[in-house]
Amino acid sequence: MAEQLDTRTRRTAHRGVAAVAGILLLAGVSGCGSLTDEPPADQIPKTVPVKGKTTGTAKNPETPPRMILRGKDDPTAGLQALLPGTLVVTDKNCVAVKPETDGGTVALNWGYGWTARVEDGKAVVYDARGKVFAREGDKVSLGGGTSSRFADHPCAGRSMFAVNNAPTDK
- Residue 38 belongs to a domain: no
| 88 and 57 assigned to the same domain | yes
Query: Domain residues for 67?
Result: 43-163
| 17 and 76 assigned to the same domain | no
| 23 and 47 assigned to the same domain | no
| 61 and 142 assigned to the same domain | yes
Contact 75, 160 (CB under 8 A): no
Question: Would strands 68-69 and 139-146 be described as parallel, antiparallel, or unpaired?
Answer: unpaired
Residue, of 137 and 7, whose pLDDT is higher: 137
Note the pLDDT tens digit of each residue in 51-82.
334 445 556 666 779 988 888 877 666 778 88
Q: How many domains does the chain have?
A: 2
- Residue 90 belongs to a domain: yes
| 100 and 118 assigned to the same domain | yes
| 81 and 155 assigned to the same domain | yes
What is the structure's pLDDT at 64? 79
What is the structure's pLDDT at 36? 32
- Residue 154 belongs to a domain: yes
What is the structure's pLDDT at 57? 56
pTM of the predicted model, to two decimals?
0.61
